[in-house]
A and B are shown apart, each in its own frame.
Chain A
């Protein structure tokens, strides 16, 4: 069992290496960072000085090796822009994203999963159609658009909620709802189909033949089985959530890592971009590990024997 997990963790190393390398290659081949950083009207001397300062005049492979070594030892370096430690810059942003993400993620699960269950057991009814129509609306609507619509309605017209920034719990509502809509819609849809499949199984009928009541069959017998495919979706959706955060944080001026990434990319602050990408990749890899762990807990057939 321990060996199983050790192997799983070891397998994440190539993934992370690939992400690190990819980021490096893309950032270095998409234009000279120095020009963007020091400004177009800088003198050649200033540019050379800047290059030497950040050791950007070394051959590319030397920079690459140095960078990979730094990443491997957890040193993200110093921001080209304001000279602070990248790790500090990121650290002050992470709690905001975490707060937003957690709220919308839990909200999405609490809304999406029960909605899917109800749709499945009321299959074909008006209720089912209504839930599914809402779900499609939820994941078809681009979240920047939904965000802007909500600002127009709740901030400008009704003046119920603040349009951007932070400070109170009211500031959290619109970004969290915008972010959760997509995930909740997807989850509702997948829960419905997973439940429909499981409810059709012979063991559900066999449970009824034992005298197990309807809701017990749905909640105790069907749902744990349906949750096995759901866990995959929930894990994958973490990626959607990170992607969504970039957009939503920008729309609502939320001071999280998503907005940080956007500003860092546009100002070519390489060290910050690289650090952020690595952190996001690690998050996804961890989410996958958690999904694998949950599989084992949920499904004895997947659990490694001995």
Chain B
């Protein structure tokens, strides 16, 4: 095929001895053509990122040398010498990464960092380079290109940093662009803009793009062809329509089924008394400046929320909207300036000292990152039992409760004697949930608790939360930036922007007929919303969202 830009043939990337499998990538073959977007999808550990790194010659040193061929412009990228590689990477093949902030060197101005690509590969003068960089910034739609040129990475937002990275990658009009989860760390509206930008650039430059993602919504938005990977192997490859709507393999079907869609939860009757009533919560942060010249930011601005027994209230919004601050005010990890908090009818805002510690039992929180939320030196059973013991249960009874909870959360009772590092991310999040439920809270705060998990694991953890809620009847304050997840698990949803709740309602009416412009904007940004793979699987009568959002 003459339009073929990059061809990976029988690629093997060996894992170090003692790993759970022999190859990180095993016998992988795929190609990307001119002007084509090939999406590689798979869960964490599927080898999709390592495939990209092997192509770029950037594999971590602890892995063995890759075997097979990666053919590009007549050369095998796996066997070229360093000098040849340096002349190809950055010029003919470019790469962008998942965390744009971390991919920029914090101590150099971003303009300099983009210029470096030109300095390495061309003999243009400083002034010409500068002009080209500013043109590139304009092309990737950065506001104020001149000013951005002189900015440092920490002065830019995540989305702006990713635009800078894209500008760097496109600097010398590469033949192939490898994008490794480039929008995963970004807000949903920023993600939508970056995806649109990539489509425009592809159309303009005819770049062949390998786009790695775990999100089928993103795949539905931009892919021409899709490769599904599992445990280092290619499961299947085909056009977007073939994979998303007519998958041949079971694994693909399972993955697709786990993808959350904007399907509202059925309305539930018989929710109990309020477990949380928060009124007029205000929290401002003052950036510390010298001599009181700091800036103040209203993180939470006069917010009211109510959650009843057994109810799940979703709090959605972009990063910086105040979702997490509100949650931390409710649990009083952050002290709000004003406002009333009633937990199960009792005052919570005014408590201090011992009374506060006792009341804390009623509110528990599950964080986003299950890797850092557990003490690595504490056995899982002990960490679950610790809460009940602090609140007065004797050790034996607390341990018995911990074991029951582990079982209820789908883990083996014997795992109580193991340490957190022996568990996967999803299992750790189950442990965190068990730990939170051990003190029998009336309100559970889930702060982006499923955001870091693979879709299949995400679905399991969401189901666990719903099951435990049905059994124990606690209320959930569910914070997420993912509207698809929110619509599935929440009874009611509040949309937050700049510290205020701009709109609230049940998922069906909120997402079916949003009133506020901001809600509409968020909905429009949800990737893959027009893709209806669930059409055949959904039970009859359940309301579905097609392209109702403008």
- Bound complex: CA of A201 vs CA of B87, how far in Å? 23
Given the known interface contacts A203-B102, A206-B103, the answer about A211 and B152 at a Cβ–Cβ threshold of 8 Å is no
CB neighbours of A210 from chain B (8 A): 89-90, 94, 116-117, 120, 168
Report if A84 contacts B (CB, 8 A). Answer: no
Report if B355 contacts A (CB, 8 A). Answer: no
Q: Which residue from chain B places its CB closest to the CB of A216 in the assembled complex?
A: B120
Instruction: Tell which of B104-112, B199-207, B297-305, B415-423 binds the partner.
Output: B104-112
The 8 A CB mask of B79-102 against A (1 = contact, 0 = none) is 000100011111100110101001
- Bound complex: CA of A182 vs CA of B103, how far in Å? 36
- Bound complex: CA of A3 vs CA of B152, how far in Å? 23
A209 touches B291 (CB 8 A): no
Contact of A203 among B105, B152, B291 (CB under 8 A): B105
CB neighbours of B165 from chain A (8 A): 206
B104 touches A211 (CB 8 A): no
B86 touches A211 (CB 8 A): yes
A301 touches B91 (CB 8 A): no
Q: Which residue from chain A places its CB closest to the CB of B154 in the assembled complex?
A: A301
Report if B10 contacts A (CB, 8 A). Answer: no
Report if B237 contacts A (CB, 8 A). Answer: no
Contact of B120 among A206, A212, A224, A225 (CB under 8 A): A212
Most chain A CB within a 10 A radius of its CB, from B58, B87, B105: B105
CB neighbours of B82 from chain A (8 A): 213-214
The 8 A CB mask of B36-64 against A (1 = contact, 0 = none) is 00000000000000000000111000000
A209 touches B86 (CB 8 A): no
Q: Which residue from chain A places its CB closest to the CB of B94 in the assembled complex?
A: A209
CB neighbours of B19 from chain A (8 A): none
Distance (whole angstroms) from the CB of B440 to the closest CB of chain A = 42
CB neighbours of B121 from chain A (8 A): 211
CB neighbours of B116 from chain A (8 A): 207, 210, 212
Report if A7 contacts B (CB, 8 A). Answer: yes
B168 touches A301 (CB 8 A): no
Report if A208 contacts B (CB, 8 A). Answer: yes
The 8 A CB mask of A180-207 against B (1 = contact, 0 = none) is 0000000000000000000001110111
Report if A221 contacts B (CB, 8 A). Answer: yes
- Bound complex: CA of A225 vs CA of B27, how far in Å? 39
A301 touches B106 (CB 8 A): yes
CB neighbours of A224 from chain B (8 A): 107
A300 touches B107 (CB 8 A): yes
Given the known interface contacts A3-B291, A208-B89, A209-B95, the answer about A201 and B58 at a Cβ–Cβ threshold of 8 Å is no
A300 touches B152 (CB 8 A): yes
Report if B290 contacts A (CB, 8 A). Answer: yes
A300 touches B106 (CB 8 A): yes
A300 touches B97 (CB 8 A): no
Report if A299 contacts B (CB, 8 A). Answer: yes
- Bound complex: CA of A4 vs CA of B290, how far in Å? 7
Distance (whole angstroms) from the CB of B57 to the closest CB of chain A = 8
Q: Which residue from chain A places its CB closest to the CB of B171 in the assembled complex?
A: A210
A contacts with B, residue count (CB < 8 A): 24
A299 touches B102 (CB 8 A): no
- Bound complex: CA of A206 vs CA of B87, how far in Å? 15
Most chain A CB within a 10 A radius of its CB, from B82, B88, B120: B120
The 8 A CB mask of B113-127 against A (1 = contact, 0 = none) is 000110011000000
- Bound complex: CA of A300 vs CA of B156, how far in Å? 13
Report if A298 contacts B (CB, 8 A). Answer: yes
Query: From residue 215 to 265 of chain B, which have CB atoms closer than 8 A to chain A?
Result: none
A225 touches B107 (CB 8 A): yes
- Bound complex: CA of A36 vs CA of B49, how far in Å? 76
CB neighbours of B86 from chain A (8 A): 211-213
Q: Which residue from chain A places its CB closest to the CB of B114 in the assembled complex?
A: A210
- Bound complex: CA of A214 vs CA of B81, how far in Å? 13
Distance (whole angstroms) from the CB of B156 to the closest CB of chain A = 12
- Bound complex: CA of A304 vs CA of B87, how far in Å? 39
- Bound complex: CA of A101 vs CA of B340, how far in Å? 62
- Bound complex: CA of A206 vs CA of B116, how far in Å? 12
Given the known interface contacts A202-B99, A301-B152, the answer about A221 and B87 at a Cβ–Cβ threshold of 8 Å is no
CB neighbours of A3 from chain B (8 A): 290-291
CB neighbours of A206 from chain B (8 A): 95, 97, 103-104, 165
- Bound complex: CA of A60 vs CA of B178, how far in Å? 77
The 8 A CB mask of A207-241 against B (1 = contact, 0 = none) is 11111111000000100110000000000000000
Distance (whole angstroms) from the CB of A288 to the closest CB of chain B = 18
CB neighbours of B95 from chain A (8 A): 206, 209
Distance (whole angstroms) from the CB of A244 to the closest CB of chain B = 32
Given the known interface contacts A7-B290, A205-B58, the answer about A221 and B120 at a Cβ–Cβ threshold of 8 Å is no
The 8 A CB mask of A1-44 against B (1 = contact, 0 = none) is 00110010000000000000000000000000000000000000
CB neighbours of A214 from chain B (8 A): 82
CB neighbours of B152 from chain A (8 A): 300-301
CB neighbours of B90 from chain A (8 A): 209-212
Query: From residue 385 to 422 of chain B, which have CB atoms closer than 8 A to chain A?
Result: none
CB neighbours of A221 from chain B (8 A): 105
- Bound complex: CA of A221 vs CA of B120, how far in Å? 14
- Bound complex: CA of A94 vs CA of B102, how far in Å? 47
- Bound complex: CA of A206 vs CA of B152, how far in Å? 16
Query: From residue 257 to 306 of chain A, which have CB atoms closer than 8 A to chain B?
Result: 298-301, 304
Given the known interface contacts A4-B290, A209-B56, A211-B86, the answer about A203 and B120 at a Cβ–Cβ threshold of 8 Å is no
A203 touches B104 (CB 8 A): yes
Distance (whole angstroms) from the CB of B180 to the closest CB of chain A = 10
The 8 A CB mask of B133-146 against A (1 = contact, 0 = none) is 00000000000000
B154 touches A300 (CB 8 A): yes
- Bound complex: CA of A213 vs CA of B165, how far in Å? 19
- Bound complex: CA of A254 vs CA of B424, how far in Å? 62
The 8 A CB mask of A97-117 against B (1 = contact, 0 = none) is 000000000000000000000
- Bound complex: CA of A304 vs CA of B89, how far in Å? 36
Distance (whole angstroms) from the CB of A35 to the closest CB of chain B = 51
Most chain B CB within a 10 A radius of its CB, from A201, A210, A298, A299: A210
CB neighbours of B103 from chain A (8 A): 202-203, 205-206
Distance (whole angstroms) from the CB of A158 to the closest CB of chain B = 44
B120 touches A211 (CB 8 A): yes
Distance (whole angstroms) from the CB of A161 to the closest CB of chain B = 43
A207 touches B106 (CB 8 A): no
CB neighbours of B117 from chain A (8 A): 210-211
A225 touches B91 (CB 8 A): no
Interchain Cβ contacts under 8 Å between A and B, 23 examples: A4-B290, A202-B99, A202-B103, A203-B102, A203-B104, A203-B105, A206-B95, A206-B104, A206-B165, A208-B89, A209-B95, A210-B116, A210-B117, A211-B88, A211-B89, A211-B117, A212-B90, A212-B116, A225-B106, A300-B106, A300-B107, A300-B152, A301-B154
Which A residues are within 8 Å of any B CB, using their own CB? 3-4, 7, 201-203, 205-214, 221, 224-225, 298-301, 304
Q: A210-B90, A211-B86, A221-B105 are in contact. List 13 more A-B contacts (CB 8 A).
A: A7-B290, A202-B97, A205-B103, A206-B95, A208-B56, A210-B89, A210-B120, A211-B121, A212-B86, A224-B107, A299-B107, A301-B152, A304-B290
Interchain residue pairs A-B with the least CB separation, the first 8: A211-B90, A210-B90, A202-B102, A206-B103, A300-B152, A209-B95, A203-B105, A211-B86
Which B residues are within 8 Å of any A CB, using their own CB? 56-58, 82, 86-91, 94-95, 97, 99, 102-107, 116-117, 120-121, 152, 154, 165, 168, 290-291
